Structure 1
């Protein structure tokens, strides 16, 4: 976001300034900031869950529909959400978990406060391993918002965590947990559960290919958790929307350069960024963004 605001300000009047606001929680406030009119633009993930803000459904069922949300661009990210367990528990599948009823100390996002937390809870419920079930087995449930707040503590055995569910698979946080000394085992998602999760979240099933981590020898099913949307309201001035979209597309090489150390489909932002795919957003395109894409042959 700082890249966008800097490039934007450089092309505005000499006294122009922008401000970037951080959020304290798990991410649902990002969309709230735009729907309320507090923020002009924001970025959030995953897009197939975020589209429910338009209708006030699923994660947004406690909020009014926001049909005035608009998209400026889809920013690509190829991600998944999974559950992983300490190998000492002796579980390699969800059936093992349901049968053994291990005493888990799990860390995950709080329900209904973030896209990650909401998806994580629906994922566990669909597999018959809800937080209530975990507690009934004598387990402990700890909540944290961001991926690193969940994944980094699991790397320290002294903290006692033996289970975690999250996304951000391309990060070292996951690599160290799966291929490092703790050797956590990712649980393959069950096909029937993935069907249920798509109904409750809008997120479809996907897979993690063999070799994604050194210890992952076979492809496993997981939950798709892809792409960011750069969003705004329909009352954002058209010239502002046009300029922001122009920046994202014409200066995208500057964004991509930050991720050339990653394989293109395993970067925090996938590269190369394709303007034709960027123009396909789960919210209706803002007229200013649409005009840019059409003028340049991307629509």
Structure 2
């Protein structure tokens, strides 16, 4: 079956990409793009990868033209930047375009110690316990902290107002340490495929987010809901919560079309390069949900750059 043609850019490029803190998955994706794109461009091509947090800061960096391409997660959180909602009320970025998504099936979940006897948000509101909650900081950049704040506030939860404490950290493994070492009796976080959750998940009740809260987050910010299937956490039933999926590869409309096509082609046609870095993990426990499907990678919450769209539209639909 005919595949979209391999790109060849004769001129040499200098590009700036923005990944994560330096040792996590977004930086890996940037390294993959850098290697495969450089192989197909002029001989003096240089690609720099800048450190980032991978959240709203990355969206703003590419929107302001500080970098050519940035990765952010979850993908849907960037949608509000197009028309200036939520985090972007003071600075909209209508020229944002997508080059694709790298699938990562994730959820933002709320768990409380089983010893508290709380199994729902209604019971949590009634009990008003003085929780020690581990999550990320609400600084209008960290998507975990922003998502946790919105979810809890709209659910009528006031941790500090009830006499509790919030332990705010930047990275998930810092938060998980608070739970594992007994410093926290509640947690709001993502990266649900990481093994830490299997270590302490059996000690938690995971709270289903109420439908009116999910509806409001979708209406106001375009944040979708998703399901955590029964048994994903030890002894846990199926429940609904906030979707936190996918790494979004962002650029602006002024990126040259041939470069946008080339990056999309790299994502879809050289996926083996990134997949083999995760195959020691089962797909459902992997930070990148393989096998990657190029057709699905072209379904983005932000409009595709026309150059990238050329690649995805050339794919045999339903074929990977």
TM over 0.5: yes
Deviation of residue 83 (structure 1)? 0.8
In structure 2, do the counterparts of structure 1 residues 135 and 296 end up closer, same or farther at CA, with 3 Å as the change threshold?
Answer: closer
Among residues 298, 308, 312, which one is paired with 1:289 in the alignment? 308
CA contact (8 A) 1:77 1:228 kept: yes
Tell me the equivalent position of 2:207.
187
Match of 2:250, SS state, is strand
CA contact (8 A) 1:210 1:219 kept: yes
CA contact (8 A) 1:26 1:146 kept: no
CA contact (8 A) 1:259 1:267 kept: yes
Supply the distance in 2 between the matched residues of 1:296 and 1:199 (Cα, whole angstroms): 32
Among residues 255, 259, 269, which one is paired with 1:250 in the alignment? 269
Tell me the equivalent position of 2:133.
106
Tell me the equivalent position of 1:14.
43
Supply the distance in 2 between the matched residues of 1:286 and 1:293 (Cα, whole angstroms): 11
Segments of structure 2 that go 5 or more residues without pairing to the other structure are: 1-29
Supply the distance in 2 between the matched residues of 1:75 and 1:29 (Cα, whole angstroms): 19
Segments of structure 1 that go 5 or more residues without pairing to the other structure are: none
CA contact (8 A) 1:70 1:285 kept: yes
Deviation of residue 26 (structure 1)? 6.6
Matched, 1:45 2:73: yes
Match of 2:50, SS state, is coil
Among residues 187, 193, 201, which one is paired with 1:164 in the alignment? 187
Deviation of residue 282 (structure 1)? 1.9
Matched, 1:204 2:241: no
Match of 1:37, SS state, is coil
Supply the distance in 2 between the matched residues of 1:295 and 1:220 (Cα, whole angstroms): 38
Supply the distance in 2 between the matched residues of 1:26 and 1:74 (Cα, whole angstroms): 14
CA contact (8 A) 2:84 2:92 kept: yes
Deviates more, 1:95-104 or 1:253-262: 253-262
Match of 2:134, SS state, is strand
CA contact (8 A) 1:77 1:265 kept: no
CA contact (8 A) 2:121 2:207 kept: yes
Deviation of residue 149 (structure 1)? 2.6
Tell me the equivalent position of 1:269.
288
Residues 237-274 of structure 1, C-alpha deviations (whole Å, 9 max, x = no match): 22211211111111112222222233434421112211
Matched, 1:96 2:123: yes
Among residues 118, 122, 125, which one is paired with 2:146 in the alignment? 118
Supply the distance in 1 between the matched residues of 2:153 and 2:125 (Cα, whole angstroms): 12
Supply the distance in 2 between the matched residues of 1:223 and 1:16 (Cα, whole angstroms): 40
1:65-76 aligned within 5 A = 65-76=92-103
In structure 2, do the counterparts of structure 1 residues 88 and 205 end up closer, same or farther at CA, with 3 Å as the change threshold?
Answer: same
CA contact (8 A) 1:81 1:165 kept: yes
Deviation of residue 90 (structure 1)? 2.5
Deviation of residue 176 (structure 1)? 1.9
- TM-score, normalised relative to structure 2: 0.84
In structure 2, do the counterparts of structure 1 residues 142 and 291 end up closer, same or farther at CA, with 3 Å as the change threshold?
Answer: same
Match of 2:276, SS state, is helix
Supply the distance in 2 between the matched residues of 1:162 and 1:235 (Cα, whole angstroms): 48
1:31-42 aligned within 5 A = 31-42=59-70
Supply the distance in 1 between the matched residues of 2:31 and 2:252 (Cα, whole angstroms): 20
CA contact (8 A) 1:279 1:298 kept: no
